[in-house]
Each structure stands twice: as structure tokens, then as C-alpha cells.
Structure 1
Amino acid sequence: MSVKNQSRAMLLGGSAVLLWSTVATAFKLSLQWLSPVQLLGWASLFSTLVLIIAVCWQRQLGSVAIAFRERPLLCLSLGVINPAIYYLVLFRAYDLLPAQQAQAINYTWALTLSLLAVPLLKQPLRGRDMIALAGGYMGALMIATRGDLLALDFVSGEGVALAMISTLFWALYWILNARSTAPATVMLLICFLVGTPLVWALMAWKGDLGMPPLKALAGAAWVGLFEMGITFMLWLGAMRSAVHVSRVSNLIFLSPFLSLVFIRYLLDEPIAPATFIGLGMIIIAVIYQQKGEKAKPAPAEA
């Protein structure tokens, strides 16, 4: 039983949110030198290594084989989704779109979760859900069109479609992940042990196995450590330490706005007014939908 300490929980949660806020910028910078599949291949490799170290440190390495034997189909399905399919789709969206658009649209995954819960969890859509979905997706459209809703003029229609599709895979991952009884870090390691070889096989098929430049490796390492690995464990530690979980979980709503700061000053990407408006609409929709919500799976990351 972990000791409850709200100050420690807030520190861990705040650190996780700050690190997650950097990853949209890291995606975009890394994609200057790497293709989406190369970025995922190297990032997932770094993430796998740090997860192995973490699981060994927690003395749970034996649980990896046990969990896989108990639910092999579930483990394989989760690993194919995350990291393989989800990040391939997401990185391609980032490759095609301004970072501010890709990261904000991807944030609607929490709304997509309620849509997938209808056929997969047999949960009905409430009036609250439908209002939240309408507001959230209107916000995404506001961002994607840079405020010109009627013209439907996208920077990249393919990029917007991929960013939306990525939310389906991420929501599906968390719905399926809720069926696992394995420790969270163990399950995440299993996913990367399944998915990383698939990504490297794709890299080999595409002829992308050459050693990238050092700055590209540094970007992939940052993504692997702080999007996929260490930050997840910081957030998990925050949840376990929290006396008031809601106070920690609300920190996640700072992430997309902090991300815009990094995008503006590190990528030198001007932030469109429509991005602030649309992102505000999305976050208000997510908060409104989740208020009082108890039935749906509680993900560890936004």
C-alpha cells in the first residue's frame, strides 16, 4: 500500500504534465529528420528499455510472462494498437499538420471514448455526452479550419483525418486496457515488447534501418522517455500518492495550453486565435462530460 502524500502527488503530477507538454514540439522537431515510422521505431526502443529497467526495479519482471500467458490475445491486441498503429497514425498527422492543430485535435480522444463505449461497453449516450461531443468536435473543427468553419479549408485534409483516427485507436486502447488485471507498468512493457518489433519490421521493409543523425536520436529518445515511458510512471505515482485524486487529475488540463507555449517559442509557430478558442471548447466539453462520471474506464494519460 503506497503512502498517501498530496504534496508529493502534486509534484509528480505536475512534472508529468510539464513533460507531456513538450512532446508535441518534440514530435515536430524529430520529424524534420525522421520519417514517422523511424521516429516510432527509435522512440519505442528507448521506451522499451526504460520500461524494462522500471519493471526490474519494481521486481515484477516475472509478472510479464504470467500476464501474457493469462491473456495472450489481449496483450497482442494492445501491443498492436499501442505503440504500433496509434503512434504511426499520430506521427503521420503531425507530419502533415501544424503542431498546434495535431495536438489539439488529438485531445478529443476523451470524447471519442464515450462513442466507442456505446458498442464496446454497451453504455448509452447520455444527453450530457451528446452536448459534450457536439461542443468538443466543433472545437476541433474550429482548430482544423483556423476559424473558417464554413469554408472547411484545411491545411491538410489527410492530416486532420489521421489526427481524428488516432483518437479512435487511443480510446480503443484504454477500453481494452481496462480488461487487464496486470500491474500498469507491466502491461505497458508487454505492449512495447509486442509493438516495437512490429515497427522495426516495418522499418526494415521500408529500408529505413540506417543510423539517424545524433540530433534525430536525441529527439526520438525524448519522445520515448517522456511521451511513452518515464512520464507515464510519474503520473501513475501521482495517482497512487494522491489524497485527493481529482486535484491531481485536473492538472492534465494544463497540458495542451503549456504545449502551445513550447510550440510557439521552440517551433516558432504562430498560434492562431482559433486554436485557443477551439482548445477551450474541447476542454470545457471534456470537463462537462466527465463531471460526475463513474462508469467509464479511467485512463492514466491524456
Structure 2
Amino acid sequence: MSIRHHRLVRGAVAVLCSALMTAAAGLTGATAAQAAVNTSPNYLVVYNNNIENWLPTSCADGYLWDRLLTYLKGRPLSPDIFTVQQISNQTQLNTLLKRLSDDLPGTYAGKIAIASPGSMGYTSTCGKLKNQQTNAVIWRSDRFTSEAETRWRSDAPENKTGGCKNLEPTSSSQDRVENIGVRLHDNVRNLDVSVASIHWPTNTWNGPDCADENMSEAEEAMVRLGGDLKIVAGDMNTEAKTRGWWDDAKALGYRDPIAEKCGSRDCSSAYDTNGSRRIDFLLAKSGGGFSNAAHISSTATGGAYSEHIAVTAYVNY
């Protein structure tokens, strides 16, 4: 074989090997994309959900919250931050942190508003409502370091008619209105991020009458924590058009990725998160805007997982 012919053959083999390696890398990349952490310094993958229906399978009554976890396993990037409402107690938070760390890329840590909330007054261990309910912030501990935290209680009208006042525990405890905010240091971006998980009182307590006050107190908590990026997410138990709270949030610099996606403060019913209402929100004080904003319907998860639809967005710095 001539030297020239030998070089041509060798070149052809090299090209073929390169093509095979590229194809293999493409397949590997496609697989890895289903199991990756976010390493970008430019945005955070954020989820919010009221997980009130995370119950033992024997009690789930059609709501299987594990469906949302299964959905997350199939996403290109695991959550960097996950705010949850109506989690039972520290024990359930620990279980959730282990599940996230075992099932998803990354490791997870979290802080709960009240480790052992008071009883809601229910007598049954089954059904859609849990007897203990509070709120928590979860984050990827392989990316973030916890620096500080703050807690505060949501307001409702005193005696349902008077001025806004902290809703104190009763025989049917409202420890689910104890909010928590955490300041995290992002070791990838080298900036601080403050995150709050909030739950405002329901119509039972005329809670929507104090929505603007509750938004103001959430902002006060964020100011206490500081941070270059601020995220406030949770179950507001009221719609964006109620009592001007959403407009107040916008005036304070917060943006609503779902509203920006639907093109209006008052989105169509396609964006409802609880029955026929959009009451679960992910707000961010971020000049960078958002991408991949969505709410996770029960169709996407193969069945109902909670009475509340999860909300997600990539939040840009």
C-alpha cells in the first residue's frame, strides 16, 4: 500500500471514528440532560407548590403527590430552589429532602417555618387535608449556603372585620400562615438570594382583605434578609386582582413569570392553580426576567398530585 493510500485510509477511519464518537456523545448528552443540575451562573430553576395532598397512598383519595416527583425526575434540570406550603412538619420535610436527594441530581437542604405545627382540628388521619400544616424553603445544598432566616405570621382582619392583624393560633390552628424566608449564598454566581415561602389566610378568615398588607410584610422580610435576588412564592389564597396586592408587588419591583407568559395580570382559566382560581404565585425581584415559565398540570404528571398546581420558572439574575 502506498504511503498516500495509507494516509487516505487512515484519514477515513479517523473521520468515521470521530462521527461515531460525536453520535455517542449526542446520545450521552440526551440521556444526561434528563439528569443534570443547573451549573449556569445566569439563572436559577425555581419551583413552588402547595403540597397539602402529600399523604400516605392509603389516604390519597386520588391525589398522589409522588407524581410530581416523578415528573421532576424527567426534567432537563433539577430544581435549584423549591418552596412548599402546607407541609406537615419537620419529619415530612426530612423525608422530602431525602427523596429529592435520592431521586434527583444534587443534594437538598431546607428550613421549615414551624417544626411541629399545631393541630388543624381534624379527627381523621385520611382525607385531603393534613392535620399539621406549615411552610418551608428547600434548596440545593451543593450550590447554596444558608446564611440567615426570618419568620413572620400572615395577617387577617381582627375578628374578621377589623384592621389587619397577625392571625394567631386557635383550636383549628393556623400555623400554616407562619411564613419563612431564607437568605442563601449562591456559590456559583457568588451572590446572595433571598427566598420566602408564604401562605396567606383563606376566605374563612377574610384573609383576602389583608392581601396588600401581607405583600407589604413579605417585602419587609426580604429587606431584612437582603440579597441580590429576591423570590417570594406561595399560596396567596387570593387572585391577582384582589385588593391591589399584585399591583403593590409590581410597584415594589416584583415580576410574575406566569403573568408575563399569559400577557396580563388576570390570566385565562388555562393558568388556574386551584379550581377556577389562580392563587399560587412565584414572584421575583429580578431585572433579568424569566424563561421556561409554566404551571405543571395534572395532565403533565399523569394524574392529580395536589389540589394546587405547581408553578415553575427559570429566574434570571
The alignment's TM-score, normalised by the length of structure 2, stands at: 0.27
Q: Which structure's relative contact order is higher, taking Cα pairs within 8 Å and 6+ residues apart?
A: 1
Higher share of residues assigned strand: 2
